[in-house]
Amino acid sequence: MTTTAPETLTEYQLFIDGRFVPSSDGSTYESEDPYTCASWARIADGTTADVDRAVDAARRALSGEWGRMPGKERARLMRRLADIVERESGALADVETRDNGKPFRDANAQVAYVADWLRYFAGHADKIEGRAFSDAHPNFFAYTVRQPVGVVGAILPWNAPLILLAFKLAPALAAGCTFVAKPSEFTPASALALAACVEEAGFPPGVFNVVAGSSRAVGAHLVAHHGVDKVAFTGSTATGIAVAQAALGHLAAVTLELGGKSPQLVFADADLDQATNGLIAGVFAASGQFCTAGSRILVHRDVHDELAQRLRSRAEQIRIGDPRDPEIDLGPISTGPQYARVAELLNSAAAEGAGVPKSGGVAPEVGRYFVRPTVLTDVTLSMQVMREEIFGPVVGLIPFDTEDEAVAMANDTPYGLAAGIWTRDVRRSHRVADRLQAGTVWVNAYRTNSPGVPFGGMKASGLGRENGQEALDSYLETKSVWIELADESRDPFRIG
Ligand code: NAD
C-alpha cells in the first residue's frame, strides 16, 4: 500500500477487553483510501496472540457481569449503542467512505441500518423463551431453556464492513453472546470506530472485541480457536469453505454468507421504466460490489433491444468520481486486487466476443481504481464474465423466449443467493419465485433488506441465515431439562 507523510494518518488501535490497545508486537500497517490511492490510516496490526487475548476476554465476559445480565439490560445497552451510532453517523460514514470508497450517501444509509439492526434485535433480547412439555413422558415434566451459544468469532469482508458486522453483532448481543470481530485487512477502520461507540455505551469489558490484522493468519487463528463457539463469516465461497472446515475441526457452529451470481429476469410485460431503474440499483450501486449484485440480466427477446438501449443510456448518466461528493453516484472499486479482477473479467468478455460499449470499461482518467458502469450484450451463459462473480459495475444481457427457459438459465449457476423478477403478472411472479434457487427473490424491486427478514444463500452462496428469527436462533443453544414427578424408584436397567 502507498505511504503518505506519517503525521497525516489517522491512528486506530485494537479493541480488546474494553480497552484500545496496540498489537502485541507493536506493529502497525497502513490502510489505503481507494479514491486517492494513498494511505489514510495507521492500524494496529493484530497477531494471533491478540486473537488469544480477545477470545480470553470474551470468555471471561460470558461468565461475568454480561453472562448474568437480564435480557432487558442487554436491550438497554443495545439501544444506547444505537443512539450513539446515530449521533456519530456522519463520522462513521466518513470512515467507511475513506476506507472503502463507498459514496458517502450510501455509507450514511448503511450506518443508519446499523442503528436499525441494533434496535430490532434489542426488542428480542428479553423475549427469549423456552417451551414446556407437561406430557412428554408419564410422570415427567420437561422444559427447554435457550442459552447463548457462547463466544462468536466474526470474519468480515471489505465491501460493506459496518452493516455486515451489524448483521452478526445485533442478534449475538440480543442472545447474550460475546463477540470477537476480525474486519477485512482492506477495511479495518469502521469496526474500530464502532468500538469507540461500544465503549461509550458502557458494555462490560470483553463483550465486544475487534482484532484487525494485515495477515490472513489472524482470521484463520480466530476460526480455529477452541475458545470460539460459533463462527459467523461473510466473504468469498473459497474462503468460506476453508473457514467452515476450520470451525468444524473444533465443532463450532457456522454460518456462511458467501458469493453470488444473481439473475434478474425481465419479462415482456414488465414496466420497463421501473425495471431499468431497479436493474441499475441491482447491479451498479456500490460499483457492483455487493454479494447480491444482479449481474445476469435475462430478458424476454421481445424487449431485449429496447432494454439494452435504455440501460446503456441510463448507465451513461451515472456520475462517477470522489465518493465524498454528494452529487456522485459511484466511487472507485474498493481495493487494488479487486480492480485488477474486474479489469481482467472485462478483457475476458471482449476476448470471448461480448459487446462492450465505448462508454463502459475501466476509467483511468477518473482515478486508478475506477470502472464505468458497463452493459455487455452478445454474451452467453458459458462466458467467464457470466459465470463468475464480478463484484464490479458490469452486467450482461441474455435473451430468452419462454418462462421455462428463463428459470433454467437463472438456476444454471453454482450460486443461489438472490434473484429479481420484473413482471406485471402477479401469477407469474409467484410461480417463478417458487422455482428460483435463491435465498432471496425480489419482485419488481432489488437490494432491499430489513433486520426482520431472513437473508442468506442456497447452494454455493452459503449456510444458514442472517437477520430475522433465524439469525437469533443461530446464536442460541437449546437445553432440555427433565424433572421426575413420581416418588418411586424406577427399574435402572429399562429406558424410562
Ligand atoms: P474473502 O473471502 O477474501 O475475505 C473475507 C474475510 O475472510 C477477510 O476478513 C479475510 O481476511 C478473511 N480470511 C481470509 N482467509 C481466511 C481464513 N483462512 N480463515 C479465516 N478468515 C480468513 O472475501 P472478500 O474479498 O473480503 O469479500 C468479497 C466476497 O464476499 C465476495 O465473494 C462476496 O460475494 C462475498 N460477500 C457475501 C455477502 C453475503 O452476505 N452473502 C455479503 C458481502 C460479501
Q: How far apart are CA 46 and CA 26, in angstroms?
A: 9
Beta-strand (E) ranges in 113-211? 132-133, 140-148, 151-155, 178-182, 208-210
Q: Mean pLDDT throughout 319-327? A: 96
Task: Tell me the β-bridge partners of 234.
Answer: 257
Q: Mean pLDDT throughout 419-437? A: 98
Q: Is the CB of 215 under 6 A from ligand 1?
A: no
The pLDDT tens digits for 213-271 are: 999 999 999 999 999 999 999 999 999 999 999 999 999 999 999 999 999 999 999 99
Q: Is the per-residue pLDDT at 423 higher than 80?
A: yes
Claim to verify: residue 233 and residue 109 sit in the same structural domain: yes
pLDDT of residue 443: 98
Q: Is the CB of 155 under 6 A from ligand 1?
A: yes
Claim to verify: residue 65 and residue 212 sit in the same structural domain: yes
Q: Which atom of ligand 1 is nearest to the CA of 461?
A: 41
Q: Which amino acid is at 403?
A: E
493 within a domain of the structure (yes/no): no
> 261 exposed, middle or buried (CB, 10 Å; 0-12, 13-18, 19+)?
buried
Q: Which atom of ligand 1 is nearest to the CA of 184?
A: 9
pLDDT of residue 4: 47
CATH label of the domain that carries residue 435: 3.40.309.10
> 250 exposed, middle or buried (CB, 10 Å; 0-12, 13-18, 19+)?
middle
Residue of minimum CA distance from atom 9 in ligand 1: 184
Q: Mean pLDDT throughout 420-428? A: 98
Claim to verify: residue 286 and residue 246 sit in the same structural domain: no
CATH label of the domain that carries residue 153: 3.40.605.10
Give pTM, 2 decimals. 0.96
Claim to verify: residue 14 and residue 146 sit in the same structural domain: yes
What residues are labeled active site? Answer: 257, 291
pLDDT of residue 7: 56
Claim to verify: residue 253 and residue 275 sit in the same structural domain: no
Query: Which residue's C-alpha cell is 490511492?
Result: 37
Q: How far apart are CA 371 and CA 347, in angstroms?
A: 13
pLDDT of residue 178: 99
Q: How many domains does the chain have?
A: 2
Q: Is the CB of 439 under 6 A from ligand 1?
A: no
Mean of pLDDT over the chain:
97
Q: Is the CB of 259 under 6 A from ligand 1?
A: yes
Phi, psi of 190 (to 5 degrees): -70, -35
**Portion of the chain with pLDDT greater than 90, in percent:** 97
Claim to verify: residue 285 and residue 251 sit in the same structural domain: no
Q: How far apart are CA 118 and CA 85, in angstroms?
A: 10
Claim to verify: residue 206 and residue 278 sit in the same structural domain: no
In this structure, the strands spanning 394-400 and 230-234 are unpaired
The pLDDT tens digits for 439-496 are: 999 999 999 999 999 999 999 999 999 999 999 999 999 999 999 999 988 899 988 7
In this structure, the strands spanning 394-400 and 374-376 are parallel
Domain that holds residue 370: 263-443
Q: Tell me how far the alpha carbon of residue 133 lies from the centroid of ligand 1, in angstroms.
A: 42
pLDDT of residue 3: 45
Q: Tell me how far the alpha carbon of residue 336 lies from the centroid of ligand 1, in angstroms.
A: 16
Q: Tell me how far the alpha carbon of residue 258 lies from the centroid of ligand 1, in angstroms.
A: 7
Q: Tell me how far the alpha carbon of residue 235 lies from the centroid of ligand 1, in angstroms.
A: 2
The pLDDT tens digits for 23-66 are: 999 999 999 999 999 999 999 999 999 999 999 999 999 999 99
169 within a domain of the structure (yes/no): yes
193 within a domain of the structure (yes/no): yes
CA-wise closest residue to 113 among 134, 93, 138, 141: 93
The pLDDT tens digits for 467-479 are: 999 999 999 999 9
